[in-house]
Amino acid sequence: MKTQTSATNRDAGAGPRAQLVAVPEDRDGQRLDNFLASRLKGVPKSLIYRICRSGEVRVNGGRAKPDRRLAVGDQVRIPPVRVAERGEAAPPPERQMSRVEASIIHEDREFLVIDKPAGVASHGGSGVSFGAIELLRAARPRDTLELAHRLDRDTSGVLVLTRKRSALTALQAAIREGRVEKRYLALIEGALPKARLTVDAPLKKSVLQGGERMVRVDPDGKESRSRFSELQRYPGASLVEVALETGRTHQIRVHAQHLGHPLAGDEKYGDREFNREMRDKGLKRLFLHAARFEFALGERSYSFSAPLAPELAAALDAISG
């Protein structure tokens, strides 16, 4: 008679065993992927996403996505994970670490803020070995750094990291409750129908067969609101400020497309001819910049800002002439 070997039996054997970890109070509200990263030191984010997708990671006995928010007392099953057999993973290139360290615009006991360059992901994964968080952790091994929010890889500007768990939970609560002011600068095709308008259009995220994320306006999507304000008109384009009331994936890009005024340099949601015209003017990237990030925690207020990236300022000079 054949005997089946289950995952539980394998865990109980002589090899490494899965752990069942209760979420402590200081991790309440943390994303599952970040919780796993704190327990699986040295394991790349790409592997963490893989074990979540495969179902090896369980929360209270069920499958869970990497972005699930954990609650105190949740039981997280963490499978045995083998890190590369040839020793520790290679550290990030010194040039990449230096570039991100040079982008720091503020630091205190609770926060570290960078002016993230375009082309640098917020975190590793999906074919990216090192994002801003991994580079800064490598450069500052004594710090306990966590991402408070994220920016798309092609978006430059203010990215806030925390140095204390209490600061992370407080800021993430402020983000969820809509008490954070986030303002972006974007170059759109054409001109808005009026100087100020609000886009209130629900967004739904999907993943294509190749793993690419796509977002579209859909009545079954999540509530999403963006406030657009015209700052300057140019021939065939306008510089706008966008204030976010919600923070959905690709929100500004999809809302701009929904308006019929897509962002310059947006290869996913933009207009091909407009992008070509902007490339001819020297724009080689998405024109989207996180300019300001403001919030208050208790009696203390914070306001972080980053000037328009030099390559974007140069593009404006080119189209104004």
* Known catalytic residue at 152: yes
Sheet bearing 75-78, strands edge to edge: 19-22, 75-78, 58-59, 62-63
Angle between helices 32-39 and 45-53 (to 10 degrees): 120
- How many other CB atoms sit within 10 Å of the CB of residue 94? 10
Question: What's the Cα-to-Cα distance from 29 to each of 32, 73, 171, rounded to whole Å?
Answer: 9, 11, 11
Which of 106, 144, 140, 99 is CA-nearest to residue 121? 99
From 74, 152, 154, 266, active-site residue: 152
Q: Bridge-partner residues for 240, per DSSP?
A: 186, 230
The kind and range of the H/E element at 246 are none
Helix, strand or coil, per DSSP, at residue 53: helix
Q: Cα-flanking dihedrals φ and ψ of residue 306, to 5°? A: -135, 130
Question: What's the Cα-to-Cα distance from 163 to each of 20, 108, 153, 166, 247, rounded to whole Å?
Answer: 27, 8, 22, 9, 22
Residue whose pair of structure tokens reads 């670490």 in the numeric block:
97
Query: For residue 6, what is the DSSP state?
Result: -
Name the residues annotated as catalytic.
152
